[in-house]
Structure 1
Amino acid sequence: MLVVFIHGALNDHRVWAAQSRWFAQHGHEVMALDLPGHGVTAGPALDSVATMADWVLATLDTAGVTQAALVGHSMGALIALEAAAKAPQRVTHLALLGATYPMKVADALLETARSDEARAIDMVTKWSHSPGYANTEPLRQLMLTMAGKQLLHTDLAACNSYAGGDAAAALVACPTLFIFGANDVMTPPKSASHLSTSIANAHTITLTSGHALMTEQPEAVNANLLNFIFGAAVNSSDSR
């Protein structure tokens, strides 16, 4: 079964390095996407979650993929949710990391992303990690490689304006896993309670992490995704 990883705002496939490498090493097919304008995929960037979800499904069409498990982080979680609602027959499993709905972005961060992208990147870097977490520079450097094209503002505005979460949640037909970070100040677990309870057959897991779950807790993320997608029982005291 193919596992498709969808990144968040001003990120690209590299944020999934620990997951895509680990799954591939264990014999599973993976596809870590770069959304238009991000990483190696040519722009222009798309400006809505709905059009990004359409692009993901079209990319699967081009690759000849009829069914896949979708794993999304932050903005990528909204994209995965929307794609699962648009094409429920094509999505076997849905894993949403650092997800919430509505995903409102503070006006101050939106304006800073528009007028001073480097400062906004510093803000997002700080807020993406647990207090005291030392290895924050890789995420900052990744975002800086894509700076200068207003991508952060475009992505954050798309998250902020997305209004389809409730309708999408009602249409999700596959097993769904939410993975939250207990120290996440960008999408706190409690902010997603409405979304997580709106999807039938959903489980939730909370890890000791900030928003950047894939880098702060790579082994735990890998283990829980493997259990969820490939049939083992979800093993967490925080699961529902």
Structure 2
Amino acid sequence: MPYSNNLFYRIYDEGDQLKNARPLILLHGSGGSHMAWPVDIRRSLKRQIIALDLPGHGKSAGTACQHLPALVQSLRLFLDSLHIYQADLAGHSLGALLALNFAQAFPKRVNRLFLVSCGSNFKVPEELFDSLLCPNRKGQFIEDFGQIAFNRDFPQSQRRKLLEPLNQVRTSTLLADLSICAEYHLRGDFGKIACPAQLVNGTNDPITTPVSARELAHNLPQAALDLMSKCGHMLLYEKTALISKMMRGFFNEE
């Protein structure tokens, strides 16, 4: 199994079609792994895609990063170890936050940004922390998260299926991920991120609200924002086919 800088990753390669193109790095959200990206996205873009497990997630070694700068440095070392100087980045939620701040720290190393459910801040409900801090209440956490993160019309059975892998995630990992998001507030100079950036958010997302999405877009020189009606924080699953189509257009456009 492929590891680099102690991080597990999978390569989805379209062979010689775009042999010399920059790779697209997929960065998953809180408690996730490379498998959190729908297969329609992992395998549908005509280019090399690298989907990794962040530290302490999935098959990656170690423990989850406690702070965003450590996560950014972990991604830098991962790319260095694979001799990748410049890449396209796509992230969902925590992964989008990582992509955004990597681009801020190393603007010359990012060619394009695709950010799903990201904003200038994350409003993580206290009840999620309360559930995780109580012994034997991870099931309650998953139930609460499912009710908060999806749009109310999204089927309950599908929510449970999508969130079932969280049962195998360490509580400490979930706490670390949620804490990074909850503590984040847009700060610093994002004007130096000169690459094109596509933001996709749900109008009914209580975690990265439309207001926070607009504020983030306002601070990125080449950002476009699409607000999807009747979608929540997990619109990556609520609108998989549409987001896959948007990513194909965005990343294959030169």
TM over 0.5, shorter chain: yes
Structure 1 letter corresponding to 2:200: I
Aligned to 2:132: 113
Residue number among 218, 234, 237 corresponding to 2:240 in the alignment: 218
Tell me how far apart the structure 2 counterparts of residues 168 and 99 of structure 1 sit (CA, whole Å): 17
Does the alignment pair 1:55 with 2:74? yes
- Secondary structure at the aligned position of 2:163 is classed as helix
Give the gaps of 5 or more residues in structure 2.
1-21
Tell me how far apart the structure 2 counterparts of residues 8 and 154 of structure 1 sit (CA, whole Å): 12
Deviation at 1:168, TM superposition (A): 5.1
Structure 2 letter corresponding to 1:95: F
Is the CA contact 2:149–2:232 (under 8 Å) kept in the aligned structure 1? Answer: yes
Residue number among 133, 138, 144 corresponding to 2:167 in the alignment: 144
Tell me how far apart the structure 1 counterparts of residues 182 and 26 of structure 2 sit (CA, whole Å): 21
Deviation at 1:131, TM superposition (A): 1.2
1:103-161 deviations in Å (ceiling 9; x for gaps): 23233322222223321121112222121211112222121121x44211111111122
Deviation at 1:20, TM superposition (A): 0.9
Give TM-score, length-normalised by structure 1.
Answer: 0.88
1:158-208 deviations in Å (ceiling 9; x for gaps): 112234x33152331211110011232222222322111011011011224
Is the CA contact 1:15–1:215 (under 8 Å) kept in the aligned structure 2? Answer: no
Q: Which has the higher helix share?
A: 1
Aligned to 1:185: 206
Aligned to 2:26: 5
Give the gaps of 5 or more residues in structure 1.
233-240
Aligned to 2:196: 175
Tell me how far apart the structure 1 counterparts of residues 130 and 139 of structure 2 sit (CA, whole Å): 12
Tell me how far apart the structure 2 counterparts of residues 13 and 229 of structure 1 sit (CA, whole Å): 19
What is the number of residues matched between the two proteins?
Answer: 227
Alignment of structure 1 residues 69-84 onto 2, 5 Å: 69-84=88-103
Aligned to 1:43: 62
Identical aligned pairs, as a percentage? 27
Alignment of structure 1 residues 195-214 onto 2, 5 Å: 195-208=216-229, 209-214=231-236
Change (3 A) 1:168 1:83: farther
Residue number among 122, 146, 161 corresponding to 2:183 in the alignment: 161
Aligned to 2:49: 30
Tell me how far apart the structure 2 counterparts of residues 155 and 28 of structure 1 sit (CA, whole Å): 29
1:21-41 deviations in Å (ceiling 9; x for gaps): 222xxx311011111111110
Tell me how far apart the structure 1 counterparts of residues 61 and 133 of structure 2 sit (CA, whole Å): 21
1:32-60 deviations in Å (ceiling 9; x for gaps): 11111111101211011111111111111
